[in-house]
């Protein structure tokens, strides 16, 4: 029952952890704004945007929404459906490429 | 956060704990308040709605041969005649993160039964949300004034307007609903409904500070969605 004891102690967390996450979110937001400010283009821009986005989302979910301290039964029910979204994105990327191809082909080259 | 303590049941950590929780022929989310589990399920469905919006935006933007408007120029604010890219959006982002932080602290003080601190922090969160919606209204009216419509705009691909109004509008609606509920809960906290375990309006269930955490989940989710909108719509 050691786990239970531990859980009871962490029912509320020290204020420091929230302030740290808060500060980190500010810094990460500032960085993602800088991506636009510095006018990075192409692959650098996209990978930096995604990196800061996932870091921010992860921090908010893990600490502000307490998922870091929740039991796996809840965490897994919430996170696995995201794979369905990833599949959907993958499908729609294939779809928009095809649509773009047909548009370019018929609008500019002609059928 | 969760307070797992059930007579005659041993909580195990990690995936072993997960398989035992799930297969124990009892409640699955052990130690999790039912309201919190339901809020999470709702947020999961909301995630799918926003994903569908953002994916359709990706599909629309990717499939048009016309140039997409450059968000860095479209959303620039002129300060002393100099265009500063995405200035308003950056301020909105910081306001929303600030309100998310005050909400997280409100949840913490709520569990510590610090009624006044909890109430003031919820109120601060509501003010942050209201500021955000106000700035969004300003942004919308500015763009509408410049001729952006769901069916056309002077900057580039016609689809831009419909995606912009749909996605930010749906997010703004979430923020507005959040502000309404934050105000109600601030009142309930100050009035001591959670200390006295007073019943809610349409329920026989007694008030508890866990409700603040459930409200907090919703509010953090609104912030979470903004992180994705900021990345994909404004920065990409």
| Cα-based distances in Å from B32 to A82, B1, B214 | 22, 8, 11
Residues B55, B22 within the same domain: no
Percent of chain B exceeding pLDDT 90 equals: 64
- Rounded to an integer, what distance in angstroms lies between the CA atom of residue A58 and that of residue A20? 14
Q: Do A60 and B220 touch (CB under 8 A)?
A: yes
Residues B25, B82 within the same domain: no
Residues B23, B54 within the same domain: no
What residue numbers bound the domain in which B133 lies?
33-235
- Rounded to an integer, what distance in angstroms lies between the CA atom of residue A23 and that of residue A20? 5
pLDDT tens, position by position, B143-152: 999 999 999 9
pLDDT tens, position by position, B156-205: 899 999 999 999 999 999 999 999 999 999 999 999 888 888 887 777 77
List the CATH number of the domain containing B211: 1.20.120.80
The tokens for B52 are: 């569908």
More confidently predicted of B12 and B92? B92
pLDDT band at A48 (very low <50, low <70, confident <90, very high): very high
Residues B9, B57 within the same domain: no
Pairs of residues, one from chain A and one from chain B, whose beta carbons lie less than 8 Å apart: 174
pLDDT tens, position by position, B60-99: 999 999 999 988 888 888 888 888 888 899 999 999 999 9
SS3 content of chain A, % helix, strand, coil (to 5): 85, 0, 15
Q: Where are the alpha helices (DSSP H) in A38-81?
A: 42-59, 72-79
Inform me whether the pLDDT recorded for A110 exceeds 80: no
A111/chain B closest Cα distance in angstroms: 16
Which SS3 state, helix, strand or coil, does residue B11 take?
coil
Mutate to test the interface with B, among A73, A88, A98 (most CBs of B within 10 A): A73
Identify the sign of the CA torsion B113, B126, B179, B74. negative
How many domains are contained in chain B?
2
Q: Where are the alpha helices (DSSP H) in B64-114?
A: 71-74, 87-111
Q: Do B236 and A104 touch (CB under 8 A)?
A: no
Residue of A nearest to B70 (CA): A36
Residues B152, B101 within the same domain: yes
Question: What residue spans define the domains of chain A?
Answer: 2-70, 81-111
Residues B27, B40 within the same domain: no
- Rounded to an integer, what distance in angstroms lies between the CA atom of residue A82 and that of residue B207? 33
- Rounded to an integer, what distance in angstroms lies between the CA atom of residue B22 and that of residue B34? 15
| Cβ-nearest to B59 among A7, A35, A96 | A96
Chain B residues whose CB is inside 8 A of the A87 CB are none
pLDDT tens, position by position, B205-219: 788 889 999 999 999
User: pTM for the whole thing?
Assistant: 0.91
- Identify each DSSP E strand in chain B by its residue range: 77-79, 82-84
Report CA Rg, chain B.
Answer: 21
Inform me whether the pLDDT recorded for B35 exceeds 60: yes
Residues B23, B61 within the same domain: no
Residues B108, B146 within the same domain: yes
Residues B210, B106 within the same domain: yes
């Amino acid at each position: 029952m050691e786990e239970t004891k531990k859980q009871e102690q962490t029912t509320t967390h020290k204020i420091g952890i929230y302030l740290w996450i808060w500060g980190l979110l500010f810094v990460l937001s500032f960085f993602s704004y800088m991506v636009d400010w510095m006018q990075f283009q192409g692959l650098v821009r996209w990978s930096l945007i995604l990196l800061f986005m996932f870091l921010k989302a992860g921090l908010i979910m893990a600490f502000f929404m307490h998922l870091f301290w929740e039991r796996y039964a809840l965490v897994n029910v919430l996170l696995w459906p995201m794979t369905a979204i990833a599949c959907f994105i993958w499908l729609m990327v294939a779809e928009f490429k095809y649509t773009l191809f047909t548009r370019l082909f018929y609008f500019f080259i002609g059928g | 956060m969760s307070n797992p303590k059930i007579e005659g049941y041993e909580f195990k950590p990690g995936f072993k704990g997960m398989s035992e929780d799930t297969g124990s022929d009892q409640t699955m989310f052990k130690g999790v308040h039912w309201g919190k589990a339901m809020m999470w399920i709702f947020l999961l469905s909301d995630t799918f709605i926003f994903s569908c919006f953002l994916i359709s935006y990706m599909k629309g933007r990717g499939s048009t041969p016309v140039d997409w408007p450059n968000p860095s120029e479209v959303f620039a604010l002129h300060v002393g005649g100099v265009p500063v890219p995405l200035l308003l959006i950056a301020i909105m982002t910081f306001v929303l993160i600030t309100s998310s932080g005050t909400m997280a602290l409100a949840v913490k003080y709520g569990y510590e039964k610090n009624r006044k601190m909890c109430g003031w922090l919820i109120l601060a969160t509501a003010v942050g949300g209201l500021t955000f919606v106000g700035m969004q209204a300003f942004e919308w009216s500015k763009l509408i004034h410049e001729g952006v419509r769901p069916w056309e705009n002077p900057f580039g691909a016609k689809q831009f307007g419909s995606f912009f109004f749909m996605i930010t509008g749906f997010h703004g609606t979430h923020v507005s609903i959040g502000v309404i509920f934050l105000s109600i809960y601030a009142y309930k906290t100050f009035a001591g409904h959670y200390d006295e375990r007073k019943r809610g309006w349409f329920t026989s269930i007694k008030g508890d500070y866990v409700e603040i955490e459930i409200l907090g989940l919703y509010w953090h989710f609104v912030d979470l969605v903004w992180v994705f909108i900021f990345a994909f719509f404004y920065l990409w």
